[in-house]
Amino acid sequence: MMKKIALAIAIVVIAIAGAGYYFFSNIDSIVKAAIENYGSEATQARVTLKSVKLSIKEGSGELSTLAVKNPKGFSSADAITLGDIKVALDLSTLQSNTIVVKDVTILQPAVLYEYTGGGGNLEALQKNVQSYAAKFSGGKTEPNKSAGDPAQSASKQPEKKVIIENLVIRDGKVAATHQALQGRTISANLPTIQLKDIGKDKGGATPAEVAEKVIGSISVAASRVATAELQKQAGDLLKNQAGGLLGGATGGAAGSSTGGSSGGAADKLKGLLGK
């Protein structure tokens, strides 16, 4: 009997070791799939990731080309594309419920700001992520009343949270499109974004809350830059139209034309700013 028990224990240990080897040998693909699945669910737009390279031993990782498509109601282009994402972890926290990330550096993000009559694509993405994060606020889950349901016991497990000590987004570009630009796209540099101690004040943030914070920060910065560029383009439009009127019109006809064209340019200015 003791030999049988020892054999059973040995089989279990081998199975666990094999499962552990499979997990760690495939952790890159597991993380990639998780980011694409949960990212798409949170943003309500398709999220893709080109590659993941993680080193559990070193506590570091690198993700390449994370792309978030536009939400419904906008073009099929990517709204946000993040180039290289470098991550450094605090190894001592990996087994705890709150994992500490020492540093996240996001390089060369490319952001597309699309504005239609109903609003902007970045604002739509942000609202989607906020709505998703609200479902998990405080780590609450809907109680399952079915006795013996595995989901009920799983819901009692504490949710993994994260604290990000330092997050930097740099060397980015933002492009903006608007119907009033008649197919043209304007572009500008995206300012460096730095966030400190994400989730620290509340003992950790959920992945959804981190996504909300990061996408929200990118959205606000990109919208601000895009709006400033649109205002500049609108100002140039008014100047060009006014200059053309002064150079090609005389007398009362000039006065009449100026009033009509300036009004049209003013209407375009309002359209550019979404007003």
**What are the tens digits of pLDDT across the range 242-257?**
454 444 433 443 344 4
Q: How do beta strands 60-69 and 78-89 pair?
A: antiparallel
Ranges assigned E (strand) in the chain: 47-55, 60-69, 78-89, 98-107, 110-116, 119-120, 161-170, 172-178, 185-190, 193-198
The predicted-structure confidence for 52-74, as pLDDT tens digits, reads as follows 998 878 888 899 999 999 999 99
> Taking 50 as the threshold, does the pLDDT of residue 146 lie above it?
no
| Residue percentage of the chain with pLDDT more than 70 | 65
Query: ∠ CA(86), CA(92), CA(211), 5° rounding?
Result: 40
Distance CA 271, CA 168 (A): 34
| Amino acid at position 132, single letter | Y
3-state percent helix, strand, coil for the chain, nearest multiple of 5: 50, 30, 20
Residue 47 near residue 36 (C-beta atoms within 8 A): yes
More confident residue, 174 or 14: 174
Which class for 156: exposed (0-12), middle (13-18), buried (19 or more C-beta within 10 A)? Answer: exposed
pLDDT of residue 258: 40
The pLDDT-based confidence of 107 (bands split at 50, 70, 90) is: very high
Mean pLDDT of 189-203: 92
Which residues have C-beta within 8 Å of that of residue 152, sequence separation ≥ 6? 143, 144, 146
Nearest CA-CA partner of 274 in 173, 130, 176, 127:
176
Write the DSSP symbol of residue 86. Answer: E
Tokens of 171: 């060397």
pLDDT of residue 248: 45
> Taking 90 as the threshold, does the pLDDT of residue 222 lie above it?
no
